Amino acid sequence: MIHSLFMINSAGDIFMEKHWKSVISRSVCDYFFEEQQKANSPEDVNPVISTPHHYLIHIYRENIYFVAVCTTEVPPLFVIEFLHRVVDTFTDYFGDGGETAIKDNYVIVYELLEEMLDNGFPLATESNILKELIKPPNILRTVVNTVTGSSNLADTLPTGQLSNVPWRRAGVKYTNNEAYFDVIEEIDAIIDKQGSTVFADIQGVIDCCVKLSGMPDLTLSFMNPRILDDVSFHPCVRFKRWESERVLSFVPPDGNFRLISYHVGSQNMVAIPVYVKPNISFREGGGRFDVTVGPKQTMGKLVESVVITCAMPKVVLNMNLTPTQGTYTFDPVAKVLTWDVGKINPQKLPNLRGNISLQSGSPPPESNPAISVQFKIQQMAVSGLKVNRLDMYGEKYKPFKGVKYLTKAGNFQVRT
Amino acid sequence: MSNGGGSYNAQNDSRAGSTGEPDMGTEPTGGFFSADYKKHDDLKQMLDSNKDNLKLEAMKRIVGMVAKGKDASDLFAAVVKNVVSKNIEVKKLVYVYLVRYAEEQQDLALLSIATFQRALKDPNQLIRASALRVLSSIRVPVIVPIMMLALKDSVVDMSPYVRKTAAHAIPKLYSLDPEQKDQLIQVIEKLLADKTTLVVGSAVMAFEELCPDRVDLIHKNYRKLCNLLVDVEEWGQVVIINMLTRYARTQFLDPNQQDVVADDDKNFYGDEDEKDSEEEEEDEEKEKTPPKKPYMMDPDHRLLLRNTKPLLQSRNAAVVMAVAQLYHHIAPKSEVGLVAKALVRLLRSHREIQHVVLSNVATLTTIRKGMFEPYLKSFFVRPSDPIHVRTLKLEILTNLATETSISTILREFQTYVTSSDKDFVAATIQAIGRCASSISEVTETCLNGLVGLLSNRNEYVVAESVVVIKKLLQMQPDSHSEIIQHMAKLADTITVPMARASILWMVGEYSDRVPKIAPDLLRKMAKNFINEEDIVKLQILNLAAKLCITNPKQTKLLCQYVLNLAKYDQNYDIRDRARFIRQLVSPAGEKGALGKHAKKIFLASKPAPVLDSSFKDRDQWQLGSLSHMINQRASGYSPLPDFPATAPDPTVRNVEVPMPWAEKTHKKKAGKPKKEAFYSDEEEESESESDSEESSSSSSESGSESESEDDSKSESGSDKEEKKSDEEAESSSSSSSESESSSESDSDSDSESEPDTKPQKKTPPPKSKSSAKPKKEAKQEVSLLDLEDIDMSSTSAPVPTPASALDVLSPSLASDLQGLSINDKKDTAISVTTPMFVSTTSHELLHRMTGEGLAANYRFTRGTCIYSTSMVPVELTFTNHTDSPVSNIRIGEKKLQAGMTLQEFPEIPTLPGGGSMSVSIGIDFKDTIQPANFQICTQDRKYNVSIKPPVGELLQAVTMSEADFTAQQSKLTGMNENSGKASIPSQHNNSKTITSRISELANVAPVFSSQDGLYRFAGKTVSGGTLLLVTVKVGEDNSASITVNCEKMAICSMLVKEVKQKLSQA
């Protein structure tokens, strides 16, 4: 399974290593560096690299390469999924999984890695269990620790591993019992030049923040569960109940977690909430740029946080534009145009127009760049999914419940 | 946070201060020796002090060094002393250090062993576990015996967490001393019998690392593993599924074998007979198998497939992939399709996961094209994709291309060609070439498109197009002389060597089509010969030789010139080629023997290249494995075995009555021998303690298990109530939940356990087969070694389980047996499949005039009803035509025929004006076409409505092999057969129309038919589950004879009538 782990930052420094079996020299990373040099961008490095004696499987997140070293046959997804889980845990513990956070908390990081893998095989990966074994840092505790000299290790040893609900710790107590559910849907779409939809798809997740005392057993039902086409569950969800009754029945983990992620059947028509009217043309030495954004099928809701980005061709030197609304920036190094539009006012459509200047002497690009769009619509789930009710069994108190809907752009791309 | 940061900085500062030189960053040892000592001196002092916080500070800094990869080994002595520290935090960090350095300082490490041995007896399970973990991790060969002892103790520990740790320790111990293998395998055997979900995953992991070929250890645990699988933690699931895939490959027959045989030819019936005679010996032992079945899926095989299916819904990509590969490798062809959706879902995940999934999908698409066709658009390339993901997507799109989808794909490709990424454009052009060569209808279009690209400004694009066009033309050169001309002209401008070489080759090959241009081209090339790349030079030589043969008048001299140039080339390949060609084309002396055949040698017609997917050869690897990913054998990879020709003995998986995991019996009976083996008296007490704890924790587990078993039965109404009560009981008080679920399971297990065990005891192991026999023997040897097991089974197996003994059967066992019972009943070769055709037309239920603005329509969705399998799912759509909302829409009084049941939809609270809503109900028509009459109620009104099902909707499509079909048909003759004749209008007399018409009419699935003009369809009635077979035989004169076989005669005759009408429709 996983033999060793190296963390490499963007500068190419191996700033942390951990070995679960015998020590492997860090020179093994040279193979990785070799591959890295061949790639144009950090994302382009092949995640699985075969070397004469080892197999390097890595992920790239938070500008860090997490390189796992394996010596024998292992399902690559097993390693990749685990590495992502490690970074998720760091993010959960430190707020972000970046290099500074890891360096600042190296002792906790090391202890976490020690608990998560034993002899290369995952041991405890549930955040609820880990948090009992190793307390996450917070400001108050840090102050207390500096005074008393204790560290973040748990004083009492947990019993959670024995509970029949391995994802939930025992003895949870809150004064305010609350459960919040965020239904977040993302629209993935490819829109072609003429404005017609090449491909559109809705992917959704339900993220929960559950702070309930004891061992609550929750049942969440939907008004229209049939629109959920393909669902993947947190291990806590009882699959059989879903199969037979289409309700989500579960004993939740404590705190934040992702309950389900789902896919809405492609036979349903996807309502595209915004349209983009691009008009980009190049000629010798320059070109015109004119983009208008407008609302389409928004069901009366306001489209917010609209951001338009466009990776211009390499020959573009600069852009001189005037927005009717919001601000725009052009990064002359990465050649990326970003236009932060904000809210769309249907009466006065936002527009960005102006001139493009190209490098002199080089031929104008043949193809126009694709535009990607970000937006958010509050209080609407574009698929029409509606939570019907949430029931709680097993505990006496009355929890406070809340559901929030949000639609945003996922991979929303307009070809021009 | 700042605490950690502070100390980290402090460490750097102190280093910088004491060594007087800048931080060396990643160097393992920074600074001079003296400085090193000095620096570590203060750490040593801190460790020696008696203040815990100083020690902790020191340990933190040391761990920081370890983490950075700096050498801290000289502190070993100072650190190891602190292993006895009372402070749990210090202790933990010391453990971290020990594991890292013990290997290097073995003697000193021995000092710490006593501490671990003590900790192994600690009452706290976590301390025991961590002691075992560290002890097994320190890799000091001297302590192997101690580790072995500790391991054996821990395997029977009461805490599953400790047992899990013990399972992890097994491979560690094995890598330290491979001689312990035999003993360790015994330990694994014990752990495999464990019934806690926490342990089994790790136990199987140990099994996989140590002795993956010891299949005999799995037999007894196979069903348990299958049933526990859903509840095992995700990482364990991956390992178990992979192991079970291999197991299934060795123990079950190939489910697709039947198809292969059927495809073979007509002597199939002969085969069947042969097989029958083979199986007869087996049949004597197990009467279960009906002798007529040529292939029947082992119920255990089915069990595995059924229990892994829900895991496709896992959030863990590795689990989903594991299930996908399991289905790919061991499921019947018709069922593999269901993994596609889950795999496509994974594409939304992280980039790295995308990459791995896509490369596996690419392999799948080379073998199972149809599977991913509905998801074509999910593989469209986005500009944000990294390059390796893009090329994989291209590969998949190309593999998926069919006549119907090619236009969509080509349109996509057109967009990709304009991309700014050159490599990607090149890959796209190649993809276009492959599409063109595989789908003949679009070859022309593609070729035109590619020729269009020849005038592209980007030279790279042009070059790539040239190469692809060359390959395409090679397949059909006849009609394309103008393209060849065009390309010959390009030779002046193109500089990419590969493209130039391609042009030259083509002109040479088809010089007869461009007789004027070819010599001229050679002239131009000859002028520039010395400046060309090697690959181009070789092609110039080729061109010269070919022209010299076909057109010696014009080119003989040119050819000589080129050959002379080549004679002095730097590259010996070119010199060789020149010499070779000279001998053939213009021999110095008299015409050589070979010279006569020169034309044949050079201008032989060459086979067109096959443009294949580069993923074709990856099929040899197990899907989802590392070896598949890197397309080479990874160390430790063991290839999947082929299915055996004859099934090994299935009875090995039967388990004796008191299953090893039926905890109470097990503990009491098996406890004793174990005590004798290696327990001192103290442990005895703890053991009995553990019993009570165990049982209480496991009874709470049982809740969820019995629940799952309920669901698999899915008998609607009454069942649901039970389920609810179960659930409540489970959540409220874990220990009391035993009552209902266990009593229920008792009755089931009673009936099931008997037949299960009888064959095991009465019949001797089969002797007929060669493969099963040695295994059986091996197993017996093991059990001889393992006396306790024999003891257990001999004392307990013959006990005639009376009612009192049944109480001890755990619900997990019951569910186990029940899972099997369902299987036994089911006819496994016939499986329900998705309908071929789902009607979109809906019928009116309630007219809006009668309904005072509320209209209702119904439609048969032909899916599986979510309420019950015996119900026909019907979708009701309510539309409110008024302006005011209608509220409380529900089903009121039901006036149903006897036996019929109707599952209502949840009440619709309000339907706004102008709105419409769909709900689904389920109706069990009891296989009659009697209408279901019921009332639809709104807040203040009631409307009588009725649904009358067409006979075709009472069916459910099933798939089966042709052999099954004929076998079943032969059983359903006489009264159960109904036939009629119809004449089909000649314009509709084709397979497509007939198939689609029949599947429109009734929910049946076509069955493969080896005879022309013979169409077969199979279905079963939804409620009764009786088989229904439709045969349509089309004769010469457009007349068709229709035969329907079904036990339900009414359905039979009605269906014949309807089919007749439908087929004779103009």
Q: Answer yes or no: do B860 and B919 share one domain.
A: yes
Query: SS3 string of B247-288?
Result: HHHHHCCCCCHHHHHHHHCCCHHHHHHHHHHHHHHHHHHCCC
B-proximal residues of A, 86-125, CB under 8 Å? 94, 103-111, 114, 118-119, 121-123, 125
Most A CBs within 10 A among B73, B352, B693, B695, hence the mutation to make, goes to B352
Structure tokens belonging to residue B346: 């994974």
Residue B883 exposure: Cα atoms within 13 Å on the Cβ side? 0
Q: Answer yes or no: do B50 and B168 share one domain.
A: yes
Task: Tell me which residue of B835, B821, B859 sits closest to B1020, measured CA to CA.
Answer: B835
CB-based contact B242 A75, cutoff 8 Å: yes
Cα B450 to the chain's mean position, in Å? 38
**Contact between residue B399 and residue B613 where contact means Cβ atoms under 8 Å apart:** yes
Of A75, A139, A149, the CB nearest to B321: A75
What is residue B881's DSSP assignment?
Answer: -
Most B CBs within 10 A among A6, A40, A121, hence the mutation to make, goes to A121
**Contact between residue A399 and residue A212 where contact means Cβ atoms under 8 Å apart:** yes
Of B351, B383, B626, the CB nearest to A76: B626
Structure tokens belonging to residue B951: 């006979």
Question: Domain count of chain B?
Answer: 4
CATH classification of the domain holding B869: 2.60.40.10
Query: SS3 string of A202-214?
Result: EEEEEEEEEECCC
Q: Answer yes or no: do B863 and B969 share one domain.
A: no
Gyration radius (Cα) of chain A, Å: 25
State the nearest Cα–Cα gap between B923 and chain A, in angstroms: 16
CB-based contact A246 B348, cutoff 8 Å: no
**Contact between residue A56 and residue A8 where contact means Cβ atoms under 8 Å apart:** no
User: By the CB < 8 Å criterion, does A203 face chain B?
Assistant: yes
Regions of chain A where pLDDT drops below 50:
152-155, 160-161
CB-based contact B26 A14, cutoff 8 Å: yes
Q: Answer yes or no: do B921 and B981 share one domain.
A: no
CB-based contact B26 A110, cutoff 8 Å: no
Rounded Cα distance between A261 and B375, Å, is 18
Q: Answer yes or no: do B112 and B228 share one domain.
A: yes
Q: CA of B59: which chain A residue's CA is closest?
A: A107
Residue B10 lies in a domain: no
Rounded Cα distance between B836 and A296, Å, is 36
Burial of B816 (0-12, 13-18, 19+ CB in 10 A): buried
> Sign of the C-alpha dihedral, residues B865, B868, B874, B875?
negative
Q: Which of B228, B255, B282 is the C-terminal boundary of a domain?
A: B255
What are the structural domains of chain A?
2-148 (3.30.450.60), 178-270+380-414 (2.60.40.1170), 274-378 (2.60.40.1170)
User: By the CB < 8 Å criterion, does A346 face chain B?
Assistant: no
User: By the CB < 8 Å criterion, does A18 face chain B?
Assistant: yes
CB pairs under 8 A between A and B: 299
Beta partners for residue A197, in sequence order: A191
CB-based contact A73 B66, cutoff 8 Å: no
> What is the tens place of the pLDDT at every residue in A321-347?
899 988 999 988 888 899 999 888 888
Residue B104 lies in a domain: yes
A chain contacts of residue B337, beta-carbon cutoff 8 Å: none
* Beta-strand relationship, B872-880 and B854-860: antiparallel
Helices (H), B69-159: 76-80, 88-101, 106-109, 113-119, 125-137, 144-155
The residues, any chain, with a CB within 8 Å of residue B928's CB and separated by 6 or more, are: B897, B900, B954, B1050
B chain contacts of residue A188, beta-carbon cutoff 8 Å: 348
Q: Answer yes or no: do B486 and B590 share one domain.
A: yes
B chain contacts of residue A394, beta-carbon cutoff 8 Å: 731-732
Structure tokens belonging to residue A134: 């190793």
At B7 the pLDDT is 42
Q: CA of A167: which chain B residue's CA is closest?
A: B233
Residue B765 lies in a domain: no
Regions of chain B where pLDDT drops below 50:
1-37, 260-292, 657-828
Strands across the sheet containing A351-358: A274-283, A286-295, A351-358, A316-323
User: By the CB < 8 Å criterion, does A78 face chain B?
Assistant: yes
DSSP string, B294-306: S----HHHHHHHH
State the nearest Cα–Cα gap between B691 and chain A, in angstroms: 14
Residue B342 lies in a domain: no
Gyration radius (Cα) of chain B, Å: 38
Query: SS3 string of B697-742?
Result: HHHHHHHHHHHHHHHHHCCCHHHHHHHHHHHHHHHHCCHHHHHHHH
User: By the CB < 8 Å criterion, does A147 face chain B?
Assistant: no
CB-based contact A80 B313, cutoff 8 Å: no
User: What residue numbers bound the domain in which B128 lies?
Assistant: 42-255
Q: Answer yes or no: do B1030 and B895 share one domain.
A: no
**Contact between residue B1040 and residue B1033 where contact means Cβ atoms under 8 Å apart:** yes
Query: SS3 string of B179-239?
Result: HHHHHHHHHHHHHHCCCCHHHHHHHHHHHHHHCCCCCHHHHCCHHHHHHHHHHCCHHHHHH
ipTM of the complex: 0.90
**Contact between residue B258 and residue B963 where contact means Cβ atoms under 8 Å apart:** yes
Q: Answer yes or no: do B925 and B970 share one domain.
A: no
Residue A398's CB is within 10 A of a number of other CB atoms, namely 8
Residue B217 lies in a domain: yes
H-run or E-run covering A182: strand A178-191
Can you tell me whether residue B631 is helix, strand or coil?
coil
Structure tokens belonging to residue B267: 């002597």
Residue B543 lies in a domain: yes
Q: CA of A114: which chain B residue's CA is closest?
A: B96
B chain contacts of residue A123, beta-carbon cutoff 8 Å: 164, 168
> What is the tens place of the pLDDT at every residue in B556-602?
888 888 888 888 888 889 899 888 888 877 665 555 666 677 777 77
Most A CBs within 10 A among B2, B3, B170, hence the mutation to make, goes to B3
CB-based contact A105 B341, cutoff 8 Å: no
Q: Which of B949, B977, B1001 is the C-terminal boundary of a domain?
A: B949
**What percent of chain B clears pLDDT 90, i.e. is strictly above it?**
4
Residue B292 lies in a domain: no
CB-based contact A50 B634, cutoff 8 Å: yes
Residue B977's CB is within 10 A of a number of other CB atoms, namely 17
State the nearest Cα–Cα gap between B260 and chain A, in angstroms: 30
CATH classification of the domain holding B145: 1.25.10.10
> Sign of the C-alpha dihedral, residues B579, B580, B581, B584?
positive
Q: CA of A109: which chain B residue's CA is closest?
A: B67
**Contact between residue B241 and residue B322 where contact means Cβ atoms under 8 Å apart:** yes
Of B386, B626, B727, the CB nearest to A55: B626
**Contact between residue B185 and residue B210 where contact means Cβ atoms under 8 Å apart:** yes
User: By the CB < 8 Å criterion, does A258 face chain B?
Assistant: yes
A chain contacts of residue B458, beta-carbon cutoff 8 Å: 366
Q: Answer yes or no: do B915 and B969 share one domain.
A: no
CB-based contact A142 B700, cutoff 8 Å: no
Rounded Cα distance between B391 and B691, Å, is 58
CB-based contact B711 A15, cutoff 8 Å: no
At B591 the pLDDT is 59
Q: Answer yes or no: do B102 and B196 share one domain.
A: yes
CB-based contact B2 A217, cutoff 8 Å: no
Task: Tell me which residue of A365, A414, A278 sits closest to B383, measured CA to CA.
Answer: A414
Most B CBs within 10 A among A3, A58, A104, A151, hence the mutation to make, goes to A151
CATH classification of the domain holding B977: 3.30.310.10
Q: CA of B158: which chain A residue's CA is closest?
A: A162
* Beta-strand relationship, A2-8 and A64-70: antiparallel
Cα B592 to the chain's mean position, in Å? 62
Q: Answer yes or no: do B915 and B962 share one domain.
A: no
Cα A297 to the chain's mean position, in Å? 26
A chain contacts of residue B730, beta-carbon cutoff 8 Å: 217
Q: Answer yes or no: do B941 and B966 share one domain.
A: no
Of B52, B457, B731, the CB nearest to A366: B457
Q: How far lies B57's CA from each of B3, B41, B69, in Å? A: 10, 14, 19
> What is the tens place of the pLDDT at every residue in B622-679?
888 888 888 888 888 888 888 888 777 777 877 754 444 444 434 444 334 433 434 4
What is residue B314's DSSP assignment?
Answer: B
A chain contacts of residue B106, beta-carbon cutoff 8 Å: none
Rounded Cα distance between A130 and A85, Å, is 12
B chain contacts of residue A71, beta-carbon cutoff 8 Å: 635-636
User: By the CB < 8 Å criterion, does A190 face chain B?
Assistant: yes
Rounded Cα distance between B718 and B953, Å, is 26
Residue B944 lies in a domain: yes
Structure tokens belonging to residue B192: 């495999």
Strands across the sheet containing A387-393: A247-250, A217-222, A387-393
CB-based contact B384 A411, cutoff 8 Å: yes
CB-based contact B386 A114, cutoff 8 Å: no
CB-based contact A155 B88, cutoff 8 Å: yes
Cα-based angle B158, B159, B161 (whole degrees, multiple of 5)? 150
The residues, any chain, with a CB within 8 Å of residue B398's CB and separated by 6 or more, are: B409, B431, B434, B435, B613
Of B8, B198, B635, the CB nearest to A72: B635
Rounded Cα distance between B225 and B241, Å, is 9
Q: Which of B949, B972, B1002 is the C-terminal boundary of a domain?
A: B949
User: By the CB < 8 Å criterion, does A23 face chain B?
Assistant: yes
A chain contacts of residue B355, beta-carbon cutoff 8 Å: 46-48
Structure tokens belonging to residue B541: 């030589």
CB-based contact A366 B418, cutoff 8 Å: yes
